[in-house]
Chain A
Amino acid sequence: MPVVTLYWNELEKLTGVDRETILSNLPMLGCDIERIEEDHIDVEFFPNRPDLYSVEGVARALRGFLGIEVGYKNYEVNPGKWKIIVDNSVRNLRPRICGCVVRNLKLNDELIRSLMEIQEDLHWTIGRNRRKMAIGVHDLSVLEFPLRYTTVDESFSFVPLDFEEEMSIKDILIKHPKGKEYSFIVEKFDRYPIILDSNGEVVSLPPIINANRTRLTEKTTDVFIDVTGFDKNVDRALNILSTMLADRGGILESVEIIYTDYVETTPDLSPTKMGVDKSEIISLLGFEVSDGDIISALEKMRYGVSIRENYFEVLVPPYRADIMHPWDIIEDIAIGYGYDKIKPDYPKTSTVGKSHEWNEIKDIVKEIMIGLGYMEVITFTLTNEEVQYEKMRRPKLEPWKGFIPVMHPLTGEHTIIRTDILPKLLEVLSVNTHHPLPQRIFEVGDCVVEMKNVLKIAACSTHSRANFAEIRSVVQALMRELDLSWDVKECKDEAFIEGRRAAIFVEEKEVGVFGEVHPEVLENFEIPNPVVGFEIDLSKIFNVGELI
């Protein structure tokens, strides 16, 4: 989630209240204050509120929340003479473009920094790392309109931002830091979308980099913003940026976008209308709330609102990218009303509790094992084939039929989900050789076999005289306590010593194994003392309940 740096001097100036008031109210608007410093605070805003990624947006919301300036805020867009002609060739690459001209700005360091930060945050959130949407902000005075949004091939060259030499697009994608970072978006392109001015000079190579010559300086007063992408996220980003600059005293002028078959004027800063039933508000919130409270809450959250017989017609500001459903507005009513003012009420819903069979069996087995002197451990279910099979001298199961491999593992340690617990216990013993013996441990828990969870219990004991008889006694006790009649047969599990290993059978079904762990396995796990152990698949014996 984006962390936004807000400078006290700007925040206090724009909201008109002191630090204390800001600090106590901001979290109740929906954010986490990460750090409080002398000159700034770092605040983490939720990804659904990109309109709060700038000090202007935060101030606008806070002024409403504090009742200083409430209700819908109208933003004027003056008709501009600016045009962008869109070539058909962008249609299959990056079809949509929007623009806005903002005049009369005082571009100081603070504003330039704020602009750069919000661009980055919008690129990351709405833009999904520039894939769905990318923004360019330019010095209007160097551009000759009308602009053309068209495509060129990779040999086309210009001077990219922060460089002094002309570079071909091909080189930019390989050498320019931004080119390297975002080349993945255009890697399958044979032609590249580009914005040119009427002199043929480059404005921007979206979504990669602007031309160096359009960069903002402290002398810049008028800017042109372009946003490219695919869908309404393009408009959302432009609306957030243009309203933010209007709050800074900028005067907005529209840009005409001329596609081959239609013409559009941007930005469109008219509100969206959404209706909300009073009954739905009360139902979702779970308590009675008066019309007055609803209206006041909505206005604090900067909505426009009019009421008609238990029906609220709400004007949603153009910078709100998150309002998809009336419930989104109802949440804002709750926030505007104040979460701290809502009286919690335990629901009357009456039901009878029931635990899951899986865990009931787990609990009984735990009780027995602890009674037998075995300490419970828990381990990761993520593991690897080496630990599960190779070190155990066991044949590797087949992927999918046996274990499941994960894609893109982060380490060689965690490439599959365990099918057996015993190897995990040997791992535990191998990191605990410095602790006094005997060590007796068990784990009862989930393994994943053929993509389904199964419930297994494994236990092992290590000390200088651990032997077959010891572990057989334990298995006998466990089976007796579980009221199971069982049998053993010779088994071929190479993890154990031949002649000191046994397969456990319940009702003719092989359910587990026990024995003296083979010295080569001990060597593999670097365990210096004899180990005896067992493992039983409880889901083959008991009804472990429904698994979703």
Chain B
Amino acid sequence: MLSPVEVELIKALGKGKYHLEEAVEKTGMKKDTILKASYLLQEKGFAEVITELKKKYYLTDEGREYLEKGLPEERLVILLKKGIDEITELQKLMGKREFGIALGWLKKKGVVKVENGKIKLVKEVIFEEKDALKKIAEGEVVDEKILKNLLRRKLVDYEEIKNIYVIIKDVPKIELREYISDLTPEIIKSGEWRGKEFLKYDITIPSKEIFTAKIHPYERIIRECRKIFLEMGFTEIKGNYVQPAFWNFDALFQPQDHPARDMQDTFYLDYYVDLKEEKKRGYIERVKDTHENGWITGSTGWGGKWDLNKAKQLVLRTHTTAITIHYLANNPDPPVKAFCIDRVYRRETIDATHLPEFDQLEGVVMDKNVGFRHLLGLLKEFFAKMGFEDVRFRPGYFPYTEPSVEPEVYVEDLGWIELGGAGIFRKEVTEPLGIKDKVLAWGLGIGRLAMLRLGMKDLRRLYLPDLGWLRELPAIKR
């Protein structure tokens, strides 16, 4: 059985020997296609492909010049015949170089003698070289010996040409039907396709790779998380990256000498804000009292003096909790369900698992009659929606929650993996801001999720994308 291309080739060419170029002209097929078809036919004994290496001779620049002006030795003989025989004069007329070449060749042929600075022609001479140059220029064949000579004199050069011939040895006795190769608008319009067959393509041959534009794999995970929160009835909130230390730390009952507040871990900005609004709402005074002595929250407080100036300094927020707590202070009436997925900053040296900025997901539920058990319920539901069916809970510690919990999810091949943290906001956090009800809160780093989902070992590639990686990574990772 012949493939459509084989049939097409045989039909177009018929029996005989064809140069590849000739075959292209006759068939209108591409060189590659003809060769492929020919090799297939060769296997079946209907054709043969032969390659001949041929030298194609051409004149060099010098060769072309001599063809025009005559060879130097020829010109010298003409001058000698005119009676000019003084070497010095001949040099002047011909140029030293060409005179040298000419004399050398004439001497070699034994037709001149040099005596007392004069050249004497002693024999008649025939110059076959010029004739040969002319022949070569016209693509004709010349005497082997002269050709060699011209090659040596660098008047002629050659290139090797590969001539490929396709020999159709036999046209098989099968019905060679006419097939339609490309379906064109003309064919559709004329209806000439009716009663004809379409050329069958080899569907197993891969085509050229093309890549789709798509959203970033990391954004896909963020999108999935947002969808879960929205399905669960949460309001999405957003805040500025730059926040006063007050909202990033103080409002969250982080003591002012807490190591996490060190410039070791936090990007501070050399800029202080007045916290006018916070003062007006009474937050400043109450937060100060809570830090120093617990105010009316039932806490002992941290003791010592709380410094307003430290709260005024701006930072690149170290967590999105700076935003959620401010949102709750603005919206203290229950019920509130809010979430935030956004960029946070830590002053960390970059390595495979630590980045100076990354995205954090955070959710809060504020309501009457919710407690720790409901926080666990929320976490279980959230992780189930993320595809983690097995969740377990261990005690945890976060400075602004009590009780605190570290959820762990079970991942095939990896075992129990800690995934984020959660807790109920301390009274020292909520009461100074006028929040009367309990706030269940949880958060996790999207990077960790990305590592689990995308099987990534190095988080850096998320933020300095290698386009090859982005192009190759499937939209759905299974």
User: Which A residues contact B (CB, under 8 angstroms)?
Assistant: 27-30, 32, 46-49, 128-129, 131-132, 230-232, 282-287, 324-328, 330-331, 334-335, 339-340, 342-356, 358-359, 363, 366, 369-370, 372-382, 400, 404-411, 414, 417, 427-428, 431-432, 434-435, 439-441, 446, 448, 451-453, 545-548
Contact = CB atoms under 8 A, between A and B. Distances in A.
B456 to A, nearest CB: 14
A400 B271 CA distance: 8
B280 interface: no
B89 interface: no
Interface SS of A by simple majority: loop
Interface stretch (B31-39, B60-68, B230-238): B230-238
Given A287-B373, A378-B465, 12 more contacts: A30-B394, A285-B373, A342-B372, A356-B237, A380-B463, A404-B269, A408-B268, A408-B347, A410-B348, A428-B467, A446-B343, A548-B327
A259 B242 CA distance: 47
Contacts of A370: 213-215
Interface stretch (B133-141, B163-171, B293-301): B293-301
Given A231-B304, A439-B467, A547 B239 contact: yes
A283 B371 contact: yes
B378 A379 contact: no
Contacts of B232: 353
A379 B464 contact: yes
Given A286-B372, A373-B213, A548 B466 contact: no
B417 to A, nearest CB: 12
Contacts of A344: 373-374, 376-377, 379-380
Contacts of B240: 448, 451-453, 547-548
Given A287-B373, A325-B299, A366-B215, A347 B357 contact: no
Interface string B246-270: 0000000000010100010001111
A443 to B, nearest CB: 9
Given A286-B373, A342-B376, A375 B467 contact: yes
Given A339-B393, A353-B231, A548-B330, A432 B374 contact: no
A378 B464 CA distance: 7
Interface string B320-332: 0001001100100
Nearest to A352: B233
B345 interface: yes
A64 B375 CA distance: 27
A49 B396 CA distance: 11
The listed residue with most B CB atoms (<10 A of its CB), out of A340, A352, A451, is A451
Contacts of A545: 238
Interface stretch (B113-121, B122-130, B422-430): B422-430
Nearest to A323: B300
Nearest to A329: B402
Interface string B343-358: 1010111100001110
Contact of A325 (B335, B347, B373, B428): B428
B271 A375 contact: no
B470 interface: yes
A29 B397 CA distance: 11
Contacts of B357: 380-382
B356 A410 contact: yes
User: 9 nearest interchain CB pairs?
Assistant: A286-B371, A46-B397, A30-B395, A548-B239, A331-B403, A344-B376, A286-B373, A347-B374, A346-B377
Nearest to A1: B397
A478 to B, nearest CB: 14
Contacts of A48: 397, 399
B367 A381 contact: no
Given A27-B394, A545-B238, A435 B347 contact: no
Residue with the greatest number of chain B CB neighbours at <10 A, chosen from A29, A350, A355: A355
A409 to B, nearest CB: 8
Contacts of B378: 346-347
Nearest to A331: B403
Contact of A356 (B238, B299, B466): B238
Nearest to A380: B463
A435 B468 contact: yes
A68 B403 CA distance: 25
Interface in B297-342: 297-301, 303-304, 314, 316, 323, 326-327, 330, 334-337
Given A370-B214, A431-B466, A547-B240, A378 B372 contact: no
A325 B242 contact: no
B370 interface: yes
B471 to A, nearest CB: 7
B269 A350 contact: no
A377 B470 contact: yes
Contacts of A400: 271
A354 B395 contact: no
Nearest to B424: A284
A30 B406 CA distance: 9
Contacts of A417: 241-242, 316
B167 to A, nearest CB: 40
A545 B238 CA distance: 9
Contact of A547 (B238, B268, B335, B463): B238
B98 interface: no
A374 B347 CA distance: 33
A346 B440 CA distance: 12
Contacts of B369: 283, 286, 348
Interface in B437-478: 438, 440, 462-468, 470-471
A70 B229 CA distance: 43
A334 B130 CA distance: 110
Contacts of B381: 346
Contacts of B219: 366, 376, 378
Contacts of B347: 408, 410
17 contacts: A29-B395, A285-B372, A325-B299, A325-B428, A335-B403, A342-B376, A343-B373, A344-B376, A345-B373, A353-B231, A373-B213, A378-B219, A409-B267, A410-B348, A451-B242, A548-B239, A548-B323
B297 A284 contact: no
Given A287-B371, A356-B237, A374 B213 contact: yes
A350 B373 CA distance: 17
A22 to B, nearest CB: 15
A132 B233 CA distance: 46
A233 B426 CA distance: 21
Contact of B236 (A355, A404, A414): A355
A441 B467 contact: yes
B17 interface: no
Contacts of B236: 353-356, 359
A101 to B, nearest CB: 27
Nearest to B242: A451
A440 B402 CA distance: 49
Given A29-B395, A380-B463, A375 B471 contact: yes
Contacts of B298: 325-327
A381 B294 CA distance: 38
B203 to A, nearest CB: 25
A378 B229 CA distance: 22
Given A28-B395, A324-B299, A284 B403 contact: yes
B316 A347 contact: no
